[in-house]
Each structure stands twice: as C-alpha cells, then as structure tokens.
Amino acid sequence: MSNSPIGISGVALHVPPFRIDLQDWCEWTSEDWDKIQSVVGSGFRLPGTQQSVYTMAATAVLRLIKSYDIDPAEVRFLALGTESSTDNSAGAIIAKGMIDNALVKEGKQPLSRNCEVPEFKHACLGGIYALKNAIRFLNTDGASSKAIVVCSDIALYGLGTSGEPTQGAGAVAMLLETNPTIAAIDLNEAGSASDYRGIDFRKPIQYQNGSGLPVANSNIPVFNGRYSASCYIDEMRHALEAMYMRRSISPAEYLDRVEAVFMHRPFQRMPENGWGMAWLFSLATDPAAGHKTLVELSAEAGISFDALLAEIQNPPEVTDFAVSDRIRDEAFPLMSKVLRSSRGSAKWEQQVKAKISLGSKRMEELGNLYTGALPAWFAAGLEEAASKGTDLNNKELLLMGYGSGDAAEAIPVKVVPGWQTAVQKIDMAGAMAEAINLTKDQYLSLREGRDELYPDFAPKEEFVVDRVGTSDDEGFQDKGIEYYRYNN
C-alpha cells in the first residue's frame, strides 16, 4: 500500500471538428433560442465518418502524453470509460494499439507491455469508476507506475426529440500518479450509491437491431426526461449522504465551505437543479439556520413550510414513478417549485450558482460528453481559476459523478500547491479551435452517416478511421473491424 498521496497530474481534451451552433439549430427546428441557450448551452460537436469513440480516446491520450512529457514505459494502467463502445470484445486495448504505433513511428517508446487495459461501463459514470480503480491500482501493485484514464463518448439522440440539442462528442484523458501535481484524492472520504431504476435511460441493442435500424443507431438511447432528472437528483442525494456519514460532517456546513463543485453535466440546467436540490436537502438537516432559510424559501414560493419539510425528510421511492401513468410526474414537486421560485435570487446566486460557476461558460459550448462531461468541466474550472489568479491551494473541490441506471459518486479532491503549472498545459481552447460549423443539410447528412456534404476536412494530429474491414471468408475475417491511422 502506498503512503503517498495519489491523484490527478494532467488532463487533455479532444473533440471532433464538426460543430452544431445551437442558435442555428433553433432556426432549423423553430425552437426558442433564449430557452435553449439558458437551459442547454450554445453548441455541441459530433464526429464524422473518420472519427469513432476509439480514435477520440487515442487522440486525447496521445495529447496527454505529449503535453505532460510522460514516459510511456511508466504507464501500466490505461482504462477506458465509455458508454459508446462499438466492439463488445475489445476496448482500451484498441486505443493502446493506436497510441503505441504512433509513438514508435515518432521514435519513442510505446506504452508498457505490462499495461492493464480495462474498459468500464456504467452510463456516464464509467469514467469515474475507471478513475477510482486507477487510484486503487496506484495504491497497491502499481505504486511505482503511472495510470491514464480516458473517457470517450458520442452522445446521440433522435431527431426531433427533447434530447437532440443535448448531443455531443469528445474524449478527456487524465494522468494519475503518486504525489500528484493538480489534486489529491482520498477514496476513504468518498461516498457511493446505486439503485436499479429500470427505464431511466437505456440502450437496448437487441431492441434497436430488431427494429431494423442500423447497428450504429444502437447508441441512441431509450429515455424518459423528467423521470431521468428525478433519478439524477435522488441518486446524487444518496451519494452525498454516504460521504457526509463517512466523514462525520454536517451537510449544511460542508456545502457552505466547499470551494467549488463539478458534476455530471448532460446540459447546463441539470447541475443547477441537482446542486440546488442538494442545498435544500442540506438545509433540512439544520434545525436552526437551515429551517429558517426553508421557511423563507417556502413563503416566497407560496407553499407550506411543513409540507416542504415533509417532502425533503421523507422523499418518495423514485422507482415507483417508472410506470406509464406516473412517468411524467414530479418526484419532488414542492422542492422543484422552491427551486423555480428562488432561481436568480441572492440566496440562489450565493448557495448554488457560486459553487458551480467555475468553468461553466466553457461547458456551454461542449455539449454532452457522457463519461467525459465531469472531467471536462473539472479541467475547464481549473483553467478558469488559474487564469483569474484564484487561490485554490489546499482547497477542497467536489466531484459529483452520476450514471443513469442508477449510480452516483461523491468524491472530494484537494488541490495541491503549485497546481497552476500543470493546469496551464491543459489548453482546452487549443483543443476546441478550428471548429467547422455545419449547415442544416450537412448536419442531417452527418447524422445519416453520409459524408458527401461535409466541408473540406483535413485531420491533423489526430487518429482517424482509415477503413472498415469487409471480409467474411472462412480463411480471413475482418468484417466490421476498424483500421486506423494517425495524421500528423
């Protein structure tokens, strides 16, 4: 067991070049731009036929290795967190193969031959599960090595559905090691929660294939928006309660003192509501100041304080709402009314928005990265803090991971002195530069898997799909297998 602190020492981002401007999208679809901008964001990226979840992952990892001058031979754990995998056999090893080939061609050492290559899947929480296992690896038999976790996903939703503006694609790679240079993580202080939620958000491949849709569309989810939002709130509540209990801390005091919070972010409004609900739940645990605030909030919302307190202290079984006649009902109707009433107030700005403000502007442009949404926001927040000269030395930040289905993780991290040096190498602006804005016809063409309407695109310093195998002969089979190349 290692006695040294373990944590994050580097982050790198890769997103595909094709961008959908949500203001343009609103014109195409006759949606309300003011509403979309405030609830969702300003844009998102989607891959073309040359990009896949594996090419994005490999590109992000190679960028991490180069930016932080990592000795590839020291990397003995490479984990892929994703819910968009297209190969049910291999996973992280595909990215490793691409990375090794590129490194060798540049005259460098490949990643260690003794490198573990697991893939983690649990909706959007797969990357956080990968991060936790990387820390466990470094704390045991991998103490003298380095670990890399890469979160890579493609978020697709059906055209014309409520989820369409919340799409996105990209990959985020993180370097973990002992004596980290950005933030230390002690899993003994983290909280976990899980509970099966049935029809929350699923991707039943058998159903999709049986419907006659192409295999690629198996990544379009079956989801129930309002129910999924309730699941998100409820599961994160349980993870937070587990963290409070493990650390013997007061919820109200903790939420007041934590420096910044980064959460799973499928779209802009979701973490606002999630953290707002966490605030209300914490107030109910404080019979003095907390209840006084709840009295004020309930009066402003025009509801009974006693009824509000009863809902907070005796929350419903959210799974009971997973039936057709209740699926659109609010699981927390009074709390939701208080949130709507208090949004924009001084209390809201201080207790909710202030805690989740770091990096939030950058995230409006990234869309939903599924497993990569939380680490991307964390990176964006650190970059903003460094650019503003914000003092985060020895400050505690909170990572709130969530995956539909349901599971959640509350992981506190402590920023180490000198973190700014490592954060300066992230360069999210550089990774998001040279975006190609698509027209409506180009967007629809991309969604159909066609590339004749794409603007001219010359990939640079990224992996691409060179071709896809078609042979199904008895002596040689490669049907459906992607072959890759690195364009430098």
| Dihedral in degrees, nearest 10, Cα atoms 70, 71, 77, 80 | 50
Q: What is the pLDDT of residue 223?
A: 87
Q: What is the pLDDT of residue 222?
A: 87
pTM of the model: 0.96
Give the count of alpha carbons within 13 A of 47, CB side only.
26
Q: What is the pLDDT of residue 289?
A: 94
Q: Which residues, including other chains, have CB under 8 Å from residue 442's CB and lie 6 or more apart?
A: 18, 453, 454, 455
Query: How does pLDDT run across 276-287, given as a tens digit for each residue?
Result: 999 999 999 999
Average pLDDT over residues 43-47: 95
Q: What is the mean pLDDT of the chain?
A: 94
Q: Which residues, including other chains, have CB under 8 Å from residue 450's CB and lie 6 or more apart?
A: none
Number of other CB atoms surrounding residue 204 within 10 Å: 12
* 294 within 8 A of 284, measured Cβ to Cβ: yes
Domains of the chain: 6-487 (3.40.47.10)
- How far apart are alpha carbons 197 and 320 in whole angstroms? 9
Average pLDDT over residues 284-296: 95
User: What's the N-to-C CA distance of the chain in angstroms?
Assistant: 41
Query: How does pLDDT run across 412-461, given as a tens digit for each residue?
Result: 999 999 999 999 999 999 999 989 999 999 999 888 887 766 667 788 89
Residue 214 clears pLDDT 60, i.e. is over it: no
Q: What is the pLDDT of residue 211?
A: 47
Residue 331 clears pLDDT 50, i.e. is over it: yes
pLDDT band at 213 (very low <50, low <70, confident <90, very high): very low
Can you read off the two tokens belonging to residue 176?
Answer: 């973990």
Lowest mean pLDDT of 31-45, 318-332, 445-459, name the range: 445-459
Taking only Cα atoms into account, the Rg of the chain, rounded to an integer number of angstroms, comes to 22
Cα 394 to chain centroid distance, Å, stands at 24
**Nearest CA-CA partner of 378 in 4, 12, 5, 6:** 12
